[in-house]
Amino acid sequence: MSESVNQYDITEIVQAVKSARTKFDYVLVDFPFGNRHNSLTSLINLTVYIKTPLDLLLARQILRDYSTSELTDILDWLKTYIRIARSIFLANEQFVSSSADLILDGSSSLPLKVDSVLKKLQRDKF
């Protein structure tokens, strides 16, 4: 999977991270492959993976992306999800979480997730 991750040109993201690091103590990057892209690895000190159950992710996506769609569009996506997407999401979850420094429960509250990250930052002296 690492070959497929590194096929993406993320030059603009890398430049933005480098620029932000000169201005801020902490830089947060929301990136679907965590620290697994070769261009980002050296720039990331802490990788946090938010592990959210796939059923919750699917429900959130349908509510967000299909709230005004026809039922046939929703059903088409669900068929694609079952046939193709779910296995890709599972593989990506394993790939990214295996190198994460901290794994959080995606169904927990935002304050709890923030508190966990802050404790990790303080404990590891980032």
Please report which confidence band the pLDDT of residue 4 belongs to, taking 50, 70 and 90 as the band edges.
Answer: confident
- What is the domain range of residue 122? 48-126
Residues 52 and 114 in one domain: yes
Residues 38 and 9 in one domain: yes
Segment 39-56 mean pLDDT:
94
Residues 59 and 40 in one domain: no
- Kindly state the helix (H) or strand (E) to which residue 115 belongs, with its residue range: helix 110-124
**pTM for this one?**
0.82
Residues 58 and 23 in one domain: no
CB 20 within 8 A of CB 47: no
Say which residues have a Cβ less than 8 Å from residue 107's Cβ, sequence separation at least 6.
52, 53, 56
Give SS3 for 51.
strand
pLDDT at 94 over 80: yes
If one counts the domains in the chain, the total is 2
Beta-bridge partner residues of 60: none
HSE-CB of 43 using CA atoms within 13 angstroms: 23
Residues 103 and 77 in one domain: yes
Mean confidence (pLDDT) of the chain: 94
